[in-house]
């Protein structure tokens, strides 16, 4: 089995993006990273203010509507097509719907070998990271810290609370290389 897709799932400010960058630095060949923040950034600004789009609620609870789901479905298909075309891919996502989110990715990635990685972080530590970032909505880290993992099955889990991204990346890279 040759894994060509790594899916990182964790709450806001859990360290997924830093882990993805560390993986890109450590893996022996180039891997592309696609993050949910890239999808949100590519959306028309109007969808950030509509019930049909994505609402980054002032309380930190994120809700999504039908227009967002349609764009997300197209995006996941595009990410999967990139992997099928031969580019190794790291996905940086937040499974707002837990197991249902993972199922959407499983369907998009059908036929590809995937390493599912849970990225955990203590909610207080994630909230502190969130407060230090001006681009984050307060409360997202606390809301998502456990919820995004509900019913999700992983091949590997890492905890970024006190472990630096490079060390977590070494753990993932070792798993890719077939080490325990």
- Catalytic positions, please? 37
Phi/psi for 95 (5° steps) reads: -80, 80
Q: What's the token pair of residue 45?
A: 């600004």
Q: Is 39 helix (H, G, I), strand (E, B) or coil?
A: helix
Q: What is the DSSP pairing of strand 54-56 with strand 62-64?
A: antiparallel
Full 3-state SS string of 57-90: CCCCCEEECHHHHHHHHHHHHHHHHHHHCCCCEE
Beta strands, E only, 128-179: 156-159
Q: Is 110 helix (H, G, I), strand (E, B) or coil?
A: coil
Phi/psi for 164 (5° steps) reads: -65, 155
Contact in structure between 84 and 112 (CB atoms under 8 Å): yes
Give Rg (Cα) of the chain.
16
């Amino acid at each position: 089995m040759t894994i060509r897709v790594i899916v990182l799932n964790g709450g806001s400010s859990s360290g997924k993006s830093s882990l993805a960058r560390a993986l890109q630095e450590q893996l022996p060949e180039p891997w592309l990273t696609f993050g949910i923040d890239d999808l949100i950034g590519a959306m028309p600004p109007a969808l950030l203010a509509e019930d049909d789009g994505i609402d980054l609620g002032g309380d930190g609870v994120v809700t999504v509507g039908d227009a967002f789901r349609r764009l997300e479905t197209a995006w996941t298909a595009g990410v999967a097509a990139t992997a099928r075309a031969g580019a190794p891919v790291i996905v940086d996502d937040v499974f707002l719907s837990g197991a249902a989110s993972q199922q959407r990715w499983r369907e998009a990635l059908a036929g590809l070998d995937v390493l599912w990685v849970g990225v955990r972080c203590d909610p207080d530590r994630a909230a502190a990271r969130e407060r230090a970032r001006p681009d984050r909505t307060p409360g997202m880290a606390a809301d998502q810290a456990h919820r995004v993992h509900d019913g999700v099955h992983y091949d590997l889990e890492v905890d970024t609370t006190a472990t630096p991204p490079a060390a977590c990346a070494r753990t993932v890279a070792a798993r890719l290389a077939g080490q325990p």
